[in-house]
A and B are shown apart, each in its own frame.
Chain A
Amino acid sequence: MHRIVKPKNKRSKRFLDAKESQIIENTKTAMFIRGSQTSDVVNNALKEIYIMKKPNAVMFTKKNNIRPFEDFTSLEFFSNKNDTSLFVFGSHNKKRPHNLVMGHLYDYHLLDMFELGIESFQSMNSFKNTKLTVGSKPCLVFAGELFNSDHSYKRLKYFLINFFRGPMVQNVRLAGLEHVLSFTAVDGKVVLKSYKTLLKKSGTKTPRVELEEIGPSMDLVMRRTHLATTDLYKRSLKVPKTAKPKKRKNISIDAFKTTHGRVHMEKQDLGNLQTRKMKALKRVREEKKQKEAAAKKQRTAAANV
């Protein structure tokens, strides 16, 4: 451990160990901050996204006078202290009503930041039905050409995947795929809707999916953006070598799942190959036989005479 200041107890040591960069990363936490002036809409929106992100989320209770697009240093400081790499900052003023600034950080420095205005907001309470358990991994649905054609919308898509993705798991319970978040880029807005899945019988093994709207529904308008440069973004995408699975050379698996291996041989002199030893094939033995036969003949000839 190359830390100059030693942690005083095991709890703080565990926190600092988790904070260090690792090969396979921890689930990203998000921080939710309110600006000096907020509206009801913004407060409810922040609360509901916080509920969706629980337990990997930190909600700040106090109001902070921060302007993310002017001076980002205080948010970087918060991110460093709380070990969060995602943030949502809500504010409201006459010029930018019902404003949400969402972004992600790399190495505690800003990567991308998007200012989204909430046009129409419907809280979870307005949908009268049973809600989902907190902490389930949602399925994400992106619709609309804008998400692939426009550069800032593309980055917004990657950011939203990063934000709402949840913990990375190897196995998924089929009955537990209950939360669906849909983002539709249409009419100059991004419409966010949250659904609960109902699996119905179809004739086959795969069920038919029906959706029931539960969670908040927001119409978001993209206002300002701060996008990272392509080389910084590429650097943040780098995967460590040990995380990549090692390629095994000369081994292939065919369609029938049989493994085939290639063996490379050196040149062999076929004349001097080691084969099975058969006594009958020995040359010396043959010569002996011939000699004996000749000797026999002579003896019989001599006897006859």
Chain B
Amino acid sequence: MAASTNELVQDVLESVKKQFKSITVEKDIEVDVDCGNLLVCDQNPIDIKLYRSNRNEFISSLARDNTQLLFNQIWKLPIHKVDDVVVAEIPDPQIRIPREKPVPKAKKLTKWQEYAELKGIQKRKRSRLVFDEETKEWVPRFGYKSKNDLKKDWLLEVPDNADPFEDQFAKKKGEKKERVAKNELQRLRNIARAQKSKVPGIGLIPKLQQSQDEVNQAFHLAKKSTASIGRFEEKLPKEIVEKNSRKKRKFEPTFGQLDKEKDREKKILNHILLGKPKLDIAKAVNKEMRDGEVVEDERESRRRQKGRGSKKALPKSVRRGNRGNKSSYR
């Protein structure tokens, strides 16, 4: 009785085993599993005869074995549940893959950003809508249909001290244009500072009503703007002349200084003949490889041309072949 129950148990176990197939895979060399990339690299040598006998089957079974090994590793990873979905946390990839762009460089701060850092000013996010007291409505802070939208005002008051014939609408539009232009200028200046390129000063902005300082500045600039940097200009009775404000560009005379010319030419020649050439080895090697391939292709094409096809397209010298030293064509 005991023997028969034992046998029964054995039978049941075997049937259960048959139901479930094994997940173990035997490999000669350990397979390289990279869970971060969901990657398996199998270095085991492939039996070519076996492969050739039945290609698709062989590759399918090989792929299945390797995928099984990958899945065995993945199922060992820590598992979370995110919104009723079973999810495994995969580690960082082991194999490093080249990036698409170089590592970003730290950007230079703008003038305002530097000041804000210094003072500890935090950036505050402003709401898009603002309550307008006049219309008792929520309007956007800027732009279309905002409180200071230029299209809105059908009526503008002329202030007491202003010219009655002045166009107030044009004046307001002009002021806005100036503000926009100033902002654009600041932005470009920040870019120039970031790239460390020199930007020329604005100079004098033409104005209708100039202050005394501005008139003074304009006067001095006009005086300097001559070929001799204001040296021979008429002086006012009590005017103070700046002594060291002269920085004139000097040009060498076009003829007459033979020694200097000789030296210059000698320097150039030495640089060409004796100077070390700047050789970019990597570039040269790459070029060599590419040229080698192109030359190979050309040679192959020439060989093929000689072998088959009509030679009517080729020049007569090639068709006749190399007769002595007549033809210069190879």
Contacts and interface: CB of A to CB of B under 8 A. Distances in A.
B59 A182 contact: yes
Contacts of B41: 142, 147-148, 157
A127 to B, nearest CB: 11
Q: Which of B20, B48, B51 has the largest number of chain A CB atoms within 10 A?
A: B20
A132 interface: no
A171 B103 contact: no
A171 to B, nearest CB: 4
Q: Which of B19, B41, B52 has the largest number of chain A CB atoms within 10 A?
A: B41
A178 B21 CA distance: 20
Q: Which of A4, A169, A211 has the largest number of chain B CB atoms within 10 A?
A: A211
A161 interface: yes
Contacts of A108: 101
Interface stretch (B149-157, B211-219, B255-263, B286-294): B286-294
Contacts of A54: none
Contact of A143 (B66, B70, B188, B190): B66
B306 interface: no
Interface residues of B, number: 69
Nearest to A19: B101
B68 to A, nearest CB: 5
Contact of A236 (B51, B98, B191): B98
A170 B90 contact: yes
Given A142-B42, A143-B42, A211-B64, A162 B98 contact: yes
Interface in B68-117: 68, 70-72, 74-75, 79-80, 82, 85-90, 93, 95-104, 107-108
Contacts, number: 204
B63 interface: yes
A25 interface: yes
A247 B35 CA distance: 22
A137 B191 contact: no
B158 interface: no
Interface in A24-56: 25-26, 28
Interface stretch (A197-205, A265-273, A285-293): A197-205
Contacts of A211: 60, 63-64, 67
Contacts of B44: 143, 145
A23 to B, nearest CB: 7
23 contacts: A2-B194, A28-B100, A104-B100, A139-B39, A140-B37, A143-B46, A145-B45, A147-B41, A148-B43, A170-B90, A171-B88, A171-B89, A177-B74, A180-B67, A184-B62, A187-B48, A195-B67, A203-B17, A206-B23, A209-B71, A211-B63, A211-B67, A239-B103
